[in-house]
Structures are given as structure tokens and as C-alpha cells.
Amino acid sequence: MFDQMAHKASSWLTAEGDEAAVVLSSRIRLARNIRGFTFPPYADPETRGNIVHFVRSAIDKSKELETGAFVSSDDVTEMQRAFLIERHLISPEFMRDQNASGLYISPDEKIAIMVNEEDHVRIQSMSSGLSLMDTLNRAMRIDDDLANSLEFDYDTDFGFLTSCPTNVGTGLRASILIHLAGLVLTKEIDSVIDHINKLGLVVRGFYGEGTDVWGNLFQISNQTTLGRSELDITESLEKITRQIIEFENKSRDRLLTEARDEIADKIWRAYGILRHARVLTSEEVMNLLSAVRLGAALKILDMVSIATVNKLLILSQPAHLQRYMGVELSPGDRDIARAKLVRDTLAELP
Amino acid sequence: MLCEECRKQEATVHFSQMVNNQRVVMNLCGTCAKRRGFSNPLKNIPFPLSDFLTSMVSESATKVDGQLTELTCPVCKLSYDTFAKTGRLGCGNCFEAYRQPLADLLRKIHGSNLHRGKRLRGGALVMEPLKEEARLKDELKKAIEAEDFERAAQLRDMVKELQEKLQAVTDV
Ligand SMILES: [Zn+2]
Ligand SMILES: [Zn+2]
């Protein structure tokens, strides 16, 4: 399974779908627990093992999850775990220790189910571009399927019960991954983030820890999960996203009319470095790819597609690089391998 | 209508607020409204980020002196004290054991403590209209593309009607 995945980007990052020039992907997560069992943060090994067993057999019975693979934490190496994190299939904390946990992945990687993360079951549904409703529908069908075999913890007042109070109710986290290079360049990003926060949504940088935002990629998600329906939460995220896309497109238009040469120069320089550099750190590659992505969206650069940029964003990360090269690499060697991967990928293009 | 908070007294204060661009209505009795500081409808109630969660939990633990912090879930044996430190609940029964402090905490976090979404085994309730809505919207898009504006207007009304119906279903 890992070998097949190593050479291609996840299919929820193919730049297909609505608004793909700005929105990379849409994601829905549902948190569920099984009635009568201690939540994973406090569960003993036996309970954790039982939960993996229950969920696995529920997945086996599900029509929606007929194809796909289930991996147990016992069979996942540290390198494979890093690989799964880089593909956004699991959270960084997941499978970190020896405690029993498991992961289901659909063949197209649009569905991933974590067993014994912070909750017993975390259903994740991913799509390329802005496609929150379809992504929600898919997650709901899986939820229905699993609920046929599992009795979920539910309270008439509080809804679905979760380990962390911030997920109680719908257990739903809807999010989009968005490229706001225009707004960063026109320096309007802070006021836009401020605006998004005021609407009650959370904005996060993609790979960066703390305040660093790499590659001008932002994740926007709902903050509250209780008191509103799944449809409400998802629709309002979609509505606000469309508004942000409008802001971003306006700033891109402004860049084109007011500073066309400077922007074109920035984009072509980024392309030049990517095409010829011999050493590239992951931070540098993210920022250069951001410029090239903008160039592709603005049709300034026509030899690189947005899909290629999305693919490189994933494949240039450390665990993917090492899989690509087939050997373990020191950080310094990674930067050399990364530059080679980028050169090779861009050279293959017509 | 009963107060959403205590579920004992008649709700006399109807407080509405925009959260995530959606109007959230809270129906409270006079006592609960005052206790929550909702007496002034113009005062904005902040909705804190999850980062502040643990500090909020421990706050709720210390506020209701000694008595509450000694609470322990009889099923998983998690004490409210531990919950205040970790910010993570132990099992489904914890919600029964700590119902009142949790109801307060959940309202602070989410601006509501009443679930309005999908029910357990109630898939059809939310999903059937959802599917129908997606289909109508798809048809609407096609009608606009085909410049069939009469049909588009018709479809737009149908979507609106469905959304209102959905709202009524999920609002109960
Ligand atoms: Zn009351
Ligand atoms: Zn408990």
C-alpha cells in the first residue's frame, strides 16, 4: 500500500473540482465513540484492543467501505507513520505510542478512519477543490453504515459525546485548505483573517507551528460543533469560503493591473530556482511553489499545472522524499534529494 | 417554552447572536439569563478558542467550591479535577455525572448546550433533504448555464423552500 502511494499525490489534491485555483481541498471530520467503553485517552490496553476489533469488523460490514485497507498500529513503522502524517491521513499525535490503534484508508485516499485517536472513531472525508457538501454527504453515509454495527455514545441534549468538550454535539469539523498568495502579497491577509475570526471560524497555517505560515496555505474550519446542524455548519463555511475566494481573486486582479511586471518577475524567478537549484529546504520549496502556483493560476506560467504544484507540496516532504529515493536520508541529504525531485518533476513537463 | 438552561422555568428572555455568520437563539428564564450576564442584549459574549479550554474547565471546577471538584464518574472513575487538568472526558457516562457543570462549560465553548444536528440512527432526518438539496442545486447550476432563467427561478424557490423545511426540522 505504501509503495503505491509514494509516487503519486493523494486524489483529493488533484486540482479538480470547484475553485481549485484557490482551494486545494475540502475536508469533513466526524468524531464518534462507542457506548460503554472508556475514551481512548484513559482506556487500558485491553479496551483499546477491543475497540480496534469492533470498529474493524464494522468497517468490514460497511458497503461504503468495501474496498480499502486497514492497518494496525503494530504494523506501522515510524517512517510509515511520518508518511501518513505528510499525506494528511492521520494527525501528528496518532499511533505515536505502542497503544493499540488502527487506520482504514480507501483506495483513492478520500476516506480515512482513525481508530483510537482522541475518540474511538474519527471519520475523515476529503475532496479536491471546494466541495464541502459532497464531502459531508460521504462522511454521513459512512457514519450511517458504521452506526448499523456500532452503538455510538449519544445524549439527547448534548448530541454525540466526545472526549474533548470542543467536539461535542455534531462531532463535526469542516475545513478547507486554501492558497491565499494574493492576499499575502497585497498585505490584506491580516484583515481578512481578522474578518474570518470574527465570523467564528478558525484560521491555521498549513505546515507551520505557531505563527509561521508556509507556502501561503491556510486551513479554515468551524470552531463550534454544538447547537447547529451539520448542514448549517458546513454551509456557513462554504459561504464564507466563497467570500474569501472573492477577496483573493480581487487581490490577484489588482496585482495583475498594478504590478504585473513585478509579479511576473517573482513567479519566473521562483520557477527558475525550482528548475535549477541543487539544494532546497522544505520551507524554501513551499514558498517557491506558492509563487509558481500563483503563476499557474494567473496563467503567467503555462508549463506548470496547479496539479503538479499540489503534488510537489506533498512529495517534497521528508518521509515522501526518503520513500522516493528508497533510502533513509540525513537532513542535509534531504535538501539535495528534494532539489533533485523538483528538477526531475519540472523537467518531465513538456 | 421552557428555559434551555435549567429546563424548569418558563423562558422569558430570548437572546439571539450571530455565531459563525448564523443566528443562534437562546431561550432562557430570567434567573438563568441574569446568571449568564445576558441581561444586556447589546453586550457581546465572547466565544473563546479551544486553547483556553482547560483554563475554562478548571475555572468551572474551582467556582463551584470543593463540592464539585470531588465529583467522580462512577463508571470510568475519572474525577472532575483530572478532567480540569487534562481537558479530556473519560467516558460517555461522565456527561451524566457532570451534567450541570458540563452544560455550563459547553455553552461557554459553543454558545449553546443543546444539540441540533443529526440524531443517533436518525440519518434520514438530515440526509434525505440534504441529498435532495444537492440535486436541486446541481440542476439550478445547469439551468443557469443553459440560460433557462425561468427554470432557474423555479429551482431557486424550491431550494429555498427545502432549506426552510430543513431549518424547521433541525431546530426542534
Ligand atoms: Zn432557567
Ligand atoms: Zn466517565
3-state secondary structure B65-83: CCCCCCCECCCCCCEHHHH
Amino acid of residue B87: G
User: CA neighbours within 13 Å on the CB side: how many for A266?
Assistant: 20
Q: What was the pLDDT predicted at B3?
A: 80
User: How far is the alpha carbon of A103 from chain B, nearest alpha carbon, in Å?
Assistant: 22
Asked if pLDDT for residue A242 goes beyond 60, the answer is yes
Mean pLDDT of A195-215: 65
CA distance A10 to chain B (A): 25
Give me the residues near ligand 2 (ion), CB cutoff below 5 Å: B 73, 75-76, 78, 90-91, 93-94
The answer to whether A72 and A49 have CB atoms below 8 angstroms apart is no
Cβ neighbors of A292 (< 8 A, separation 6 or more) are A267, A270, A271, A274, A301, A304, A309
The pLDDT score that the predictor gives to residue B86 is 86
The answer to whether A1 faces chain B, any CB pair under 8 Å, is no
Chain-chain contact of A165 with B106 (C-beta, under 8 angstroms): yes
pTM of the entire predicted model: 0.78
What was the pLDDT predicted at B121? 66
Give pLDDT, residue B56.
Answer: 59
- Quick one: pLDDT at residue A191? 86
Q: Round the average pLDDT of chain A to a whole number and report it.
A: 90
Higher pLDDT, A163 or B142: A163
Residue of chain B nearest A34, judged by CA positions: B92
pLDDT value of position A50: 94
CB-nearest partner of B116 from A35, A36, A229: A229
Chain A residues whose CB is inside 8 A of the B130 CB are 133, 136-137, 140, 231
Over 50: is that where the pLDDT of A207 sits?
A: no
Contact list, B102 vs chain A (CB under 8 Å)? 158, 165
Query: Is A109 in contact with A122 (CB distance < 8 Å)?
Result: no
Residue A336, classified by CB atoms within 10 Å of its CB into exposed (0-12), middle (13-18) or buried (19+), is middle
Nearest to B73 by CA among A42, A104, A196: A42
Who wins on pLDDT, B46 or A59? Answer: A59
| CA-derived radius of gyration, chain A | 21
Which grid coordinates are listed for A119? 475518540
Among A185, A175, A174, which Cα is nearest to A247's? A185
What pLDDT shows up at residue B53? 53
Q: Which chain B residues have a beta carbon less than 8 Å from that of A223?
A: 20, 47, 49-50
- Mean pLDDT across A283-309: 92
Q: What CA–CA distance (Å, rounded) separates A183 from A160?
A: 38
- Percent of chain A residues topping a pLDDT of 90: 66
pLDDT of B13 > 80? The answer is no
- Indicate the helix (H) or strand (E) that contains A141: helix A132-149
pLDDT at A275 over 50: yes
- How distant is the alpha carbon of residue B33 from its chain centre? 17
Alpha helix segments (H runs only) across chain B: 30-35, 53-63, 80-86, 94-97, 99-110, 123-145, 149-171
Instruction: Return d(Cα A102, Cα A120) in angstroms, integer.
Output: 10
Higher pLDDT, A132 or B151: A132
Chain A residues whose CB is inside 8 A of the B20 CB are 199-201, 222-224, 228, 233, 236-237, 240
Q: Is B53 within 8 Å of A165 when comparing Cβ atoms?
A: yes
How many angstroms separate the CA of residue B128 from the nearest CA in chain A? 10
Residue A334 or residue B58, greater confidence: A334
Inform me whether the C-beta atom of residue A188 falls under 8 Å from chain B C-beta atoms. no
Query: Can you give the pLDDT at residue B16?
Result: 47
pLDDT at A169: 97
Q: B91: distance to nearest CA of chain A, Å? A: 5
Residue with grid cell 478520500, as numbered in its chain: A110
Instruction: List pLDDT tens digits, range A16-37.
Output: 889 999 999 999 999 999 999 9
Q: What is the pLDDT of residues B94-139, one digit of tens each?
A: 999 999 889 999 998 898 999 999 988 654 344 455 666 777 888 8
Using the predicted structure, report yes or no on whether residue A75 has a pLDDT greater than 80.
yes
Three-state secondary structure call for residue B1:
coil
Average pLDDT value over all residues in chain B = 70
- State the pLDDT at residue B161: 79
Give B34→chain A minimum CA distance, Å: 21
Model confidence at B22: pLDDT above 70: no
Give the list of residues 6+ apart from residue A31 with CB closer than 8 angstroms, or none: A118, A119, A121, A122, A160, A162, A167, A171, A172, A173
Q: How far apart are CA B52 and CA B87, in angstroms?
A: 10
Residue B110 has its nearest CB partner, among A201, A227, A240, at A227
C-alpha distances in Å from residue A132, one per residue of A93, A151, A261, B157: 25, 27, 36, 22
Please name the residues in contact with B88: beta carbons below 8 A apart, sequence gap of 6 or more: A39, A41, A42, A118, A163, A164
Note the pLDDT of residue B67: 52
Mutate which: A228, A235, A236, vs B, most B CBs within 10 A = A228
Q: Do B103 and A157 touch (CB under 8 A)?
A: yes
Count Cβ–Cβ pairs < 8 Å, chain A vs chain B.
Answer: 167
Q: Do B89 and A163 touch (CB under 8 A)?
A: yes
Please name the residue of chain A whose CA is at the shortest distance from the CA of residue B128.
A137
Instruction: Determine the distance separating the centroid of ligand 2 and the alpha carbon of B68, expressed in angstroms.
Output: 15
Question: How big is the CA angle at A215 (ends A212 and A221), to the nearest 5 degrees?
Answer: 70
Cα distance between residue A229 and residue A222, in whole Å: 12
Cross-chain Cβ contact B130/A136 below 8 Å = yes
Rounded distance between C-alpha atoms, residue B109 and residue A314, angstroms? 34
Q: What percent of chain A has pLDDT over 70?
A: 96
Residue B69: name the closest of B97, B92, B42, B46 by CA. B97
Q: Which residues of A touch B49 (CB under 8 A)?
A: 202, 223
**Residue A350 has what pLDDT?**
58
Integer Cα distance of A199 and A221 in angstroms: 11
Q: What is the mean pLDDT of residues B7-33?
A: 61
**CA separation, residue A328 to residues A4, A60, A209, A323 (Å):** 18, 35, 24, 8
Chain B residues inside the 8 Å CB shell of A42? 76, 78, 88, 90-91
Strands of the A111-115 sheet, one edge to the other? A69-72, A102-105, A111-115, A121-128, A23-32, A172-179, A217-222, A201-205
Question: How do residues A143-183 score in pLDDT, each as one tens digit?
Answer: 999 999 999 999 999 999 999 999 999 999 999 999 999 99
Distance between Cα B56 and ligand 1 center (Å): 22
Q: Which strand (E) or helix (H) includes residue A26?
A: strand A23-32
